[in-house]
Each structure stands twice: as structure tokens, then as C-alpha cells.
Amino acid sequence: MASSLADAGEQSLLRSWRRARRRDLLWRIFLPLAVIVPVALIWQWAALRPGNLLLPTFTSFVTRSVQLLFGRAFWGALVTSESALLIGFGAAFILGVPVGLAMGRARSLEGVVDPYLNIAVVTPMAIVMPLLLIIFGFTIWSRAIVIFVFAVPFVIVPCRAGVLTVPPRLLEMARSFGAGELDLWREVLVPAAIPSIMSGLRQGFAHALTGMIVAELDLLAVGFGKLLLEFRDNFDSASVFATVFLIICQSVLVMLILTQLERKVGASRVLDVAGGA
């Protein structure tokens, strides 16, 4: 008797909690979409006012976005741009990870390397571009190198941090059980650093994207950059907006995948204090 009452109480609590969660989810989906309406209205109104030369109408923006998405120009540009991205970022990751890990291991060199890494992280790499242009000229390789230079500090720094923050106690424990240097790397350092490596993947890629765009806007008008500059010179602002919108969508998509990857890998390998400090 009493237990079924208690159960009923529990059931209704569970139900109302579930209802609240569902309500939250609905708001989370509805509100962002709802924001579009006033923005679109204001935008359209502002564009249709007399004396407006610059702002494309919301409708033309949407139309142009759809046209580009199904047209050849955008995808052609994408292939051109992204091929340099893959080469440049690929190199940054393949080289940056071992270098970063090794830097983390050589603790005594920490002070020697620190200032250069700090400068690399804080300095806008775009400033290096003209120099790279002089050295490497105008080729796909120079774009890839720009992307490499943008991305590599942000691959190296997290990887290094990943190794630096391995609790020395774990290394000592492994040594006490007979681990040699290779064993240390395989059994302790690399597994411990995997979340940081994933973080480096994500951060590096974000900066590689910036490098790709910057290289094309400033250095070499191909791919997306070419599209954008062309549209701009033709005063085709709707196309500029549309292209930018599509580039943003594509970047967000890839970055979302990388962020999820980082989270999944990180969650399964939490380096918690009790086990390692």
C-alpha cells in the first residue's frame, strides 16, 4: 500500500522532471530560430530604404546563398582552397605533435623554448605572410606554408602541455617497475597526452582555417578569396554576404565535428587528481 503511494510520488516527480527537460530542449531549438525573424525583418527594412547602396536585401541574400550552394563556383573554390588547407594543416599536425610531445619531455629546456612559443602564440601570423611570399613565391605551396605557419604553434603548445602536466609520480612509478624510455612514452606519456593532442587538432585546425582565408584575401586570390574579391569588385554585396555565410557554415560544421571528437576522447581519458597527483 504505502510502497505504491511512494512509487506514485516518485513517478510523478520523474515525469515532471522529464517534462522540464523537454521544455528546455524546445526552448533551445525555438528561441534561436525565433531570433532570425526580427533580424530578417529589420535587415530587409534597412536594405529597402532609399539611399541604401550597400546592404543587400535579406531576400537577395537568401536567394544568392541557395544559388551558390548549388552552383559550381562555390564548390570549385572550395576544392582549391581546401586542398592547400589539407596539405598545410596535415603537415602542421604530423610535424607538430611529435615536436610538441618531445618539447614537453625535455623539461629542462622549458625555459629555453618558452619565449619563442609565447611569441608564436601571441603574434598574428599574418605578419609573416609577406616574407613567405618573397621566399616561396605564388604557388599552392606558399598557401600551404602560410596555413602551416598559422596552425603549427597551436598544435605544438597543447601537445607540450599534455606531456608537461603528466604527474611526475606516474613516471616514477613506471620507472620503479622497470620502464625504459620507450616504455615511458608508450605506456604513460602518449596515453596521458591524447586529450591534449585532440585539443591541438582542434585549435590548430581553427587557426589553419584563418590562415587559409587570410592567405587568399591578402596573398593569392584563388578559391574563396578570389570569389570574395570578385564579388566585392563587382559591388555584388549579396554574393559577398552569401559566400561569407557559406564559408562560415562549412567551418562551423568541421569544427563541430572536431570539438565533439575532442570531447569524446577527453571524457574517456580523464586524468583525475586522485590517481595521479
Q: Which residue type occupies 188? A: V
* CA dihedral sign of residues 189, 192, 150, 143: positive
Query: Interacting stretch for another protein, rule CB under 8 A, among 63-71, 80-88, 93-101, 228-236?
Result: 228-236
Q: Distance between CA 117 and CA 123 in Å, rounded?
A: 10
Mark the segment that binds another protein (CB under 8 A) among 11-19, 64-72, 73-81, 110-118: 110-118
Residues 6+ apart with CB under 8 A from 105: 163, 189
What whole-number distance in Å separates Cα of residue 254 and Cα of residue 256? 5
Question: Kindly report the CA angle at 254 between 58 and 221, in degrees rounded to 5?
Answer: 65
Q: Which of residues 47-106 bind another protein (CB under 8 A)?
A: 54-55
Among 6-14, 71-79, 138-146, 249-257, the segment contacting another protein (CB under 8 A): 249-257
Q: How far is the CB of 124 from another protein (least distance, A)?
A: 4
188: which 3 cell numbers? Answer: 604513460
220 scored as a contact of another protein (CB under 8 A): no
Based on the number of CB atoms within 10 Å of its own CB, is 27 exposed (0-12), middle (13-18) or buried (19 or more)?
exposed
The Cβ of residue 207 has, within 10 Å, a number of other Cβ atoms equal to: 22
Span near another protein by CB under 8 A; candidates 4-12, 120-128, 140-148, 155-163: 120-128
CB of 100 to another protein, least distance (A): 17
Name which position in 44, 59, 83, 210 contacts another protein (CB under 8 A): 210
Kindly write down the DSSP assignment for every residue of 34-103, as one continuous string. Answer: HHHHHHHHHHHHHHHSTT--SPPPHHHHHHHHHHHHHSHHHHHHHHHHHHHHHHHHHHHHHHHHHHHHHH
Least CB distance to another protein at residue 5 (A): 32
**Is 270 one of the binding residues for another protein (CB under 8 A)?**
yes
Q: Could you say which of 161, 175, 185, 221 contacts another protein (CB under 8 A)?
A: 175
Residue ranges in 4-33 that form contacts with another protein under rule CB under 8 A: 27-28, 31-32
One residue of 14, 20, 34, 69 binding another protein per CB under 8 A: 34
Within 13 Å and on the Cβ side, how many CA atoms surround 223?
Answer: 22
Q: Does 182 bind another protein (CB under 8 A)?
A: no
User: Which span sits near another protein by CB under 8 A: 1-9, 93-101, 117-125, 138-146?
Assistant: 117-125
Is 213:224 a contact under the CB 8 Å cutoff? yes
Site string for another protein, 134-163 (x = CB under 8 A): xx----------------------------
Cα 188 from chain centroid? 27
Q: Is 264 in the site for another protein (CB under 8 A)?
A: no
Is 105 in contact with 163 (CB distance < 8 Å)? yes
Q: 8 vs 69, which CB is nearer to another protein? A: 69
Is residue 42 within the footprint of another protein (CB under 8 A)? Answer: no
Least separation, in Å, of the C-beta of 96 and another protein?
19
- Residue 51 or 115 having the CB closest to another protein: 115
Q: Does residue 124 interact with another protein by CB under 8 A?
A: yes
